[in-house]
Amino acid sequence: MRDVDELILKIVRLSDKALSAKELEDKLSAEIGERFPRRTLNYRLEKLVSLRLLKPVLSDLKQAAYMPMERYKEWTEVKFQERKIHSDELKREVIKPWIDQLPIFSGAVIHLPSPMIMINEYTGEENLDVENHDLFGDLESHLEPDIFERWESFKCKVMEYTERRNQCLSEIDECLEKATGLKVSDQWINGVLYDRRVTTLVFEELFEHDTIVGGDMNDDMKINSQVSQNGDSLVYSIDGHAHIKVKRGEEDGEIFRARIDDIIINLVEEWKGSKHIQEISKLFELCKEIETIRDLIKIQLVKYLRKPVFRGDCEYLK
């Protein structure tokens, strides 16, 4: 039987791939000139495996196959290195950028983070840049599926939040337009400009209770407003950002500022005591849900950044 064992080892060592029992049987039979019994072959294969001379693996057809132990060690090392290279590429090209691009809340608005300043509002409908990367879809072969389930839930809840927030902003617009007699616009209309950032400021005051107030819902609202002259115009600003611009008329600048202050304060107080605040409170709770999901996604992704290699097979690991 030693000769048979040596012949089996010779055949597998000469082969450029792992051989199934059927392939070994055919090659062995061709070598000795007669059909080699399968039962005897199976017994010899088990013996060679126990002696750590052969290693059973899965073939490309997902069948049991055999290769020399020395080649198996080389093969596993190569496979490990290929998997590590691919894992490092996924971490560098997709996972780290995904973490960096996770949308964040700024006040009552969800933004895409930028290295310098938060600029782009995120509504949940658009893809992050990383989602357009060729390797993003490959993550599904290596990461836990609940990461993608959470990501889809995050986007759906952001879309719901954005829609409901915009509805609140529209209602605030209507109230402010009615009280001031101005129209929301980003362009001059008959010499008048009412910037929607005033609307956003009112919403954030109701949403956070401390954007302008610096206290809770029962505090008196105080606005850090200023009025300046710009040519033949008066410009009303809050913290140097939100503003209303009108042509200078008979109304004194300070009187103009006080009038707009009163309009905003009265609107906020009116909304605090109405059904509107209930919807805004629900939006605040939805915001916390969204942030919780985001944090869980980030925790999972950071965990994968620390893994040396990823499990799972894909088209890049053949």
What confidence score (pLDDT) does residue 181 get? 79
**Cross-strand pairs, 105:** 110
The pLDDT of residue 212: 35
Candidates 111, 131, 114; CA nearest to 122 is 111
* Contact (Cβ atoms closer than 8 angstroms) between residue 286 and residue 161: yes
The proportion of the chain whose per-residue pLDDT surpasses 70, expressed as a percent, equals 86
Q: What is the C-alpha end-to-end distance of the chain, expressed in Å? A: 36
pLDDT classification of 93: cutoffs 50, 70, 90 = very high
Name the range with the highest mean pLDDT among 3-12, 51-60, 86-95.
Answer: 86-95
Q: And the tokens for 316?
A: 């890049």
Residue type at position 17: K
Please tell me the least confidently modeled range out of 36-50, 72-86, 243-257: 243-257
Whether residue 4 contacts residue 44, with contact meaning beta carbons closer than 8 Å, is answered with yes
pLDDT of residue 211: 36
Residue 46: is its pLDDT beyond 50?
yes
Task: Write out pLDDT tens, residues 128-159.
Answer: 999 999 999 999 999 999 999 999 999 999 99
pLDDT at 42 over 70: yes
**Angle, CA of 76, 78 and 68, to the nearest 5°:** 45
Query: 292-306: buried (b, 16+ CB within 10 Å) or exposed (e) per residue?
Result: ebbeebeebbeebee
Q: Which CATH class is domain 2-73?
A: mainly alpha
Q: How confident is the model at residue 98 (pLDDT cuts 50, 70, 90)?
A: very high
- Closest by CA to 66, choosing from 115, 14, 114, is 14
Contact of 170 with 180, CB cutoff 8 Å: no
Checking if the pLDDT of 119 tops 60, the result is no
Q: Which residues have a Cβ under 8 Å from the Cβ of 298 and sit 6 or more positions away?
A: 99, 102
pLDDT digits (tens, 9 = 90+) for 291-313: 999 999 999 999 999 999 898 88
Residue 190 to residue 247: CA distance in whole angstroms: 9
Q: Architecture of 161-280 per CATH? A: 2-Layer Sandwich (3.30)
- Pick from 16-30, 111-125, 152-166, 268-282: least confident: 111-125
Structure tokens at 86: 């691919």
Mean pLDDT computed over 177-196:
70
Query: Order of strands across the sheet with 54-58?
Result: 19-20, 64-68, 54-58
Domains 2-73 and 161-280 share a fold: no
What gap in Å lies between CA 281 and CA 207, rounded to an integer? 7
Predicted confidence (pLDDT) per residue in 47-88, tens digit: 888 888 888 887 666 678 888 888 877 777 778 889 899 999
The full set of domain ranges for the chain reads 2-73, 161-280
